[in-house]
A and B are shown apart, each in its own frame.
Chain A
Amino acid sequence: MTHKQPVLDLSPPVSDEIRKTTCYMCACRCGINVHMKANADGDMKVAYIEGNRDHPVNKGVLCAKGSAGIMQHNAPARLRKPLKRVGERGSGAFEEIEWDEALQIATDWLAPLRATAPEKLAFFTGRDQSQSFTSFWAQNFGTPNYAAHGGFCSVNMAAAGIYTMGGAFWEFGQPDWDHTKLFMLFGVAEDHDSNPIKMGIGKIKARGARVIGVNPIRTGYNAVADDWVGITPGTDGLFILSMVHCLMKAGRMDLDYLARFTDAPVLVNGDATSPEFGLLLRDEAGKQLVICRKTGKLTAFDAPGVRPDLSATHTVNDVTHRPVFHHMAEKYLSEDYAPEAVADRCGIPAARIRAIAAEIARVAFDEAFELDHEWTDFRGDTHKTMTGRPVSFHAMRGISAHANGFQTCRALHTLQIILGTVEVPGGFRFKPPYPKPATAHPKPHCGVTPGKPLDGPHLGFVQGPADLALKPDGTPARIDKAFTWENPMSAHGLMHMVISNAHAGDPYKIDTLFMYMANMSWNSSMNTGGVMQMLTDKDANGDYVIPRIIYSDAYSSEMVAFADLILPDTTYLERHDCISLLDRPICEADAAADAIRWPVVEPDRDVRGFQSVLCDLGARLDLPGFVNDAGGQKYTDYADYIVNHERRPGIGPLAGFRGAGGTNTGRGAPNPDQLDRYIKNGGFFAHHIPEGAQYYKPWNNAYQDWAVQTGLFDAPQPYLFSLYVEPMRRFQLAAEGHGEHQPPDHLRDKIKHTMSPLPIWYETDQQGNEGFKVTALTQRPMAMYHSWGGQNAWLRQLHGHNPLYVPPKLMRENGLKDGDWARVTSPHGEITVPVLEMAALNENTVWTWNAIGKRKGAWALDEQAPEATKGFLLNHLIHELLPPKGDGLRWSNSDPITGQAAWFDLKVTLSKAAPPTESKPVIPKQKSPVPKAPKSLAWKIQ
Chain B
Amino acid sequence: MTELPKSTQKKLGLVIDLDTCVGCHACVISCKGWNTENYGAPLSDQDAYGADPSGTFLNRVHSYEIQPAEGAAQLIHFPKSCLHCEDAPCVTVCPTGASYKRTEDGIVLVNESDCIGCGLCAWACPYGAREMDQAAGVMKKCTLCVDRIYNDNLPEEDRIPVCVRTCPSGARHFGDLGDPDSAVSQLVKERGGVDLMPEQGTKPVNKYLPPRPKDRMPEIDVLAPFLAPVDQGAKGFLGWLDRTLDKL
Contacts and interface: CB of A to CB of B under 8 A. Distances in A.
Interface of A: 1, 3-6, 8-14, 35, 37, 47-51, 53, 58, 60-68, 70, 76, 194-195, 198-199, 201-203, 205-206, 208, 212, 218-221, 223-228, 230, 246-252, 255-256, 259, 293, 309-311, 325-326, 329-330, 333, 351-352, 354-359, 361-362, 366, 782-783, 791, 793-798, 800, 838-841, 860-862, 864-866, 869, 933-941
Given A860-B49, A936-B47, A1 B37 contact: no
Contact of A937 (B38, B48, B103): B48
B197 interface: no
Contacts of A9: 147
B234 A361 contact: no
Interface in B223-248: 223-224, 226-230, 233-234, 237-238, 240-242, 244-245, 248
Interface in B186-245: 211-212, 214-220, 223-224, 226-230, 233-234, 237-238, 240-242, 244-245
A5 B214 contact: no
Contacts of B165: 50-51, 60-61
B24 A782 contact: yes
Contacts of B241: 251, 255, 310-311, 325, 329
- A-B pairs with lowest CB-CB distance, top 10: A358-B223, A839-B73, A933-B49, A198-B168, A202-B170, A202-B169, A864-B51, A251-B230, A358-B226, A938-B44
Given A228-B215, A329-B238, A940-B42, A255 B248 contact: yes
A840 B75 contact: yes
A735 to B, nearest CB: 26
Contacts of B9: none
A797 B57 CA distance: 10
Interface string B28-66: 111011101110011111111111111101000001010
A50 B162 contact: yes
A195 B229 CA distance: 41
A92 B111 CA distance: 49
Contacts of A309: 245
B124 interface: no
A862 B49 contact: yes
Given A933-B49, A935-B50, A12 B237 contact: no
Contact of B20 (A205, A230, A247, A794): A205
B118 interface: no
A259 B151 CA distance: 58
Contacts of B234: 329-330, 333
Contacts of A869: 51
Contacts of B158: 53
A862 to B, nearest CB: 4
B245 A311 contact: yes
Say whether chain B's binding surface is mostly helix, strand, loop, or mixed: loop
Contacts of B180: none
B74 A840 contact: yes
B75 A223 contact: yes
Interface string B167-182: 1111100000000000
8 contacts: A50-B30, A61-B166, A194-B24, A198-B22, A223-B76, A227-B215, A351-B219, A358-B223
A675 B21 CA distance: 37
B225 to A, nearest CB: 8
B48 A933 contact: yes
Contacts of B48: 793, 933-937
A230 to B, nearest CB: 6
B23 interface: yes
Of A198, A219, A783, the most chain B CB neighbours within 10 A belong to A198
A793 B166 contact: no
A312 to B, nearest CB: 9
B129 to A, nearest CB: 18
A936 B135 contact: yes
Contacts of B29: 64-65, 67-68, 783, 794-795
A531 B35 CA distance: 43
B168 A195 contact: yes
A58 B28 contact: no
Contacts of A203: 170
A251 B135 CA distance: 68
Contact of A67 (B5, B33, B63, B226): B33
Contact of A227 (B33, B44, B169, B217): B217
A936 B97 CA distance: 29
A839 to B, nearest CB: 4
Of B5, B19, B22, B223, the most chain A CB neighbours within 10 A belong to B22
B102 interface: yes
B74 to A, nearest CB: 6
Given A4-B1, A219-B23, A939 B42 contact: yes
A270 B150 CA distance: 74
A326 to B, nearest CB: 7
A683 B232 CA distance: 59
A839 B64 CA distance: 11
Contacts of B47: 862, 935-936
